[in-house]
Amino acid sequence: MQLEKLLSNKVIQAIQLLYNVTPEAKAITFQKTNKEFEGDLTLVIFPFLKASKKSPEETGKQIGEHLRSNTPEIENFNVVKGFLNITISPAFWINYFNDVAGNPNFAFVPVSNTSPTVMVEYSSPNTNKPLHLGHLRNILLGYSVAEILKANGNKVIQTNLVNDRGIHICKSMLAWKKWGSGERPETASMKGDHLVGKYYVTFDKHLKLQIAELKLAGLSDEDAQKKAPLMLEVQEMLRRWEEGDKEVVALWKTMNNWVYKGFDETYKMLGVNFDKMYFESNTYLHGKKLVEEGLNKNVFTKKEDGSVRIDLSGDDLGEKVLLRADGTSVYITQDLGTAVERFKEFPELSKLIYTVGNEQDYHFKVLFLILKKLGYKWAEECYHLSYGMVELPEGKMKSREGTVVDADDLINEMIDTARETTLKLGKTDELSAAEAERLYYLIALSALKYFILKVDPKKKMLFDPKESIDFNGNTGPFIQYTYARIQSVLRKAEKTDDRRWTAITLKDKEKNIIKLIYEFPVALGHAAKEYNPAVVANYVYELSKEYNQFYHDITILKEVDANLRNFRLALSKKTGEVIRSAMKLLGIDVPERM
């Protein structure tokens, strides 16, 4: 930021003149001043004590006096132990506001011909069941990271790898073939992904019965699972699929199309999209070729049973199977093929980000290491955006098998909760029925997305639907309401003045808002560097909270001084623009009325 750079140069000059030493730039660190103390920025003094040969307090005082005397932007300072708290002049904040007020995208870095290209993969569902709560955190996190990277000047390719083949897909197919009686989504009045998921559960129930019978007959649990007739049948179905059996492939295409249509409805409801779709059924063959390549390079080993493996014990990752004994591929086989094909298709890629839960940490360590051992230098640019699991309070939502919460059920429940809460608060009294239903949807999606994204991705989280729709807490609806409140103020004012402001005596609440607007580009940069939308989420909450305090404590529309009134309206307008921009990066829309 321009202020920190200016002050860093001034600090270097001060150290040179005061102590005849030139400090390294990295030794100069600023942070936001603790709210307990007066000041805007705080300089850490400890790195300069060796040069000053004085106490932290005396060193801080000397540097502070020099800065105040030689830097017009500095109004005052105070020293607390080893920290120099600097108060920036009101003129600086007014000038900064004047510079950015007319630019609604001032924090965004434009894309250029030299901008890096980043691919972000998210969602990555299996076509044997509907999207669930775990997918929601994945989808929302991946989509938001992509948007934040775009805001920081990156060219971003948003992708989805659909796991549409494998033993788990065949389980739904076999169950439908045995017990489906020709049922289809239209005859069952079910979304296609829900119908296919129903038969995945059906397969599991019948399999468990067979395993129990075999165990009663004296087989061990491991042998019973391997020799259960349904497992043998589904393995044979997978083998036939990989050989291109027409009947199996036709059933596979039919059921997958049901699922794709269901997924698309859910994606549309969530307001997310993809630039490119990849399908495991296409990429696993590329992976098989890589296995052959690895065998020729002696990176992989073929075992006596016909399986192909790699020994990564030297890297504390054990042994990994790449092809089963019957020649069928596993997850990592297609992931290898997909990665290679992506870098062939987009050689300009500077980073490939996989948004996948932390239960797959081992998988991605192995994947990246194998790619490196195969000689692909770009393997260093592959990154696993690992995130913690998200759970619901027990009994809050309908679940399948007692553990998996369906995404569609959750979204519909959120809309119902939003409707109930909003009606109680009387926030739709002036809206038509259609406008009210649109508002319930916007509030529900805001509550869901914000509640999930405000938590650091690395942390496990508990999602409480009712808590997420609180209009007074750290929630999406609270931020939406703040934006709507600003728009109401602007409508009542009828027009705003976009001129530059000079003769303004800033109140603390006004200064605090400008300071937060100043921090927006910093928040965007941190969020992109850390692949963490929570930085943006918590930033926009702080801005909204500060504006509400300003709104309650400072007169706006009834201010008799026209100059002050117009300035506060301009400040409100800018705050609304930043809120809208920040929320959009989280995939959240803000309503004009609420």
> DSSP letters along 503-530, please?
S----HHHHHHHHHHHHHHHHHHHHHHH
Rounded Cα–Cα distance for residues 439 and 430 (Å)? 12
Give the relative orientation of helices 167-179 and 192-216 as an angle to the nearest 10 degrees.
90
Q: Is the pTM of this model over 0.75?
A: yes
* pLDDT computed for residue 403 by the predictor: 55
* pLDDT computed for residue 163 by the predictor: 92
Q: What is the mean predicted confidence (pLDDT) over 216-240?
A: 94
CB-based contact 83:35 (threshold 8 Å)? no
Going by pLDDT thresholds of 50, 70 and 90, the confidence category of residue 72 is: very high
CB-based contact 557:520 (threshold 8 Å)? no
Q: What is the mean predicted confidence (pLDDT) over 228-243?
A: 94
Assign 312 to helix, strand or coil. Answer: coil
CB-based contact 331:169 (threshold 8 Å)? no
Percentage above 70 pLDDT, the chain: 98
Q: What is the mean predicted confidence (pLDDT) over 438-465?
A: 93
CB-based contact 534:454 (threshold 8 Å)? yes
Encoded tokens for 548: 């509400």
Same fold, 2-88 and 414-585: no
Going by pLDDT thresholds of 50, 70 and 90, the confidence category of residue 327 is: confident
* pLDDT computed for residue 401 by the predictor: 46
Going by pLDDT thresholds of 50, 70 and 90, the confidence category of residue 1 is: low
Rounded Cα–Cα distance for residues 467 and 456 (Å)? 18
| Centroid of chain to Cα 279 | 23
* pLDDT computed for residue 464 by the predictor: 80
Average pLDDT, the chain: 93
**Is the confidence at residue 402, as pLDDT, over 60?**
no
Instruction: Give the Cβ contact number of residue 569 at 10 Å.
Output: 21
Q: In CATH, what is the architecture of 414-585? A: Orthogonal Bundle (1.10)
* pLDDT computed for residue 344 by the predictor: 95
* pLDDT computed for residue 427 by the predictor: 74
Q: What is the mean predicted confidence (pLDDT) over 512-522?
A: 96
**Is the confidence at residue 534, as pLDDT, over 50?**
yes
* pLDDT computed for residue 284 by the predictor: 85
Rounded Cα–Cα distance for residues 571 and 259 (Å)? 48
**Is the confidence at residue 316, as pLDDT, over 60?**
yes
Rounded Cα–Cα distance for residues 2 and 51 (Å)? 27
Cα end-to-end span (Å), the chain = 35
Going by pLDDT thresholds of 50, 70 and 90, the confidence category of residue 516 is: very high
Going by pLDDT thresholds of 50, 70 and 90, the confidence category of residue 397 is: very low
Among 111, 113, 118, residue whose Cα is nearest residue 350 = 118
Q: What is the mean predicted confidence (pLDDT) over 315-339?
A: 91
Q: pLDDT, tens digit, for every residue of 196-227?
A: 999 999 999 999 999 999 999 999 999 999 99
CB-based contact 412:381 (threshold 8 Å)? no
Instruction: Give the Cβ contact number of residue 153 at 10 Å.
Output: 15
Q: What is the mean predicted confidence (pLDDT) over 495-501?
A: 78
Average the pLDDT over each of 148-152, 265-269, 468-472 and give the range with the smallest value.
468-472
Assign 124 to helix, strand or coil. Answer: coil
* pLDDT computed for residue 112 by the predictor: 92
CB-based contact 355:387 (threshold 8 Å)? yes
Assign 83 to helix, strand or coil. Answer: strand
**Is the confidence at residue 83, as pLDDT, over 90?**
yes
Assign 393 to helix, strand or coil. Answer: coil
Assign 28 to helix, strand or coil. Answer: coil
* pLDDT computed for residue 190 by the predictor: 95
* pLDDT computed for residue 541 by the predictor: 98
Q: pLDDT, tens digit, for every residue of 357-366?
A: 999 999 999 9
Q: Which CATH class is domain 2-88?
A: alpha beta
Q: What is the mean predicted confidence (pLDDT) over 160-188?
A: 95
Q: pLDDT, tens digit, for every residue of 545-559?
A: 999 999 999 999 999
CB-based contact 416:485 (threshold 8 Å)? no
Q: Which residue do the tokens 């699922």 mark?
A: 259
Percentage above 90 pLDDT, the chain: 81
- In this structure, the strands spanning 83-88 and 117-121 are unpaired
Rounded Cα–Cα distance for residues 389 and 26 (Å)? 37
In terms of Cβ atoms closer than 10 Å to its own Cβ (0-12, 13-18, 19+), residue 133 is buried
Instruction: Give the Cβ contact number of residue 98 at 10 Å.
Output: 14
Rounded Cα–Cα distance for residues 510 and 501 (Å)? 13
Rounded Cα–Cα distance for residues 170 and 176 (Å)? 10
Q: pLDDT, tens digit, for every residue of 95-135?
A: 999 999 988 889 999 999 999 999 999 999 999 999 988 89
Average the pLDDT over each of 60-64, 109-113, 283-287 and give the range with the smallest value.
283-287
* Phi, psi torsion values for 131, nearest 5 degrees: -65, 145
- In this structure, the strands spanning 301-302 and 276-279 are unpaired
* pLDDT computed for residue 400 by the predictor: 38
Q: What is the residue extent of each domain of the chain?
A: 2-88, 165-272, 414-585
Name 220's Cβ contacts closer than 8 Å, sequence gap at least 6: none
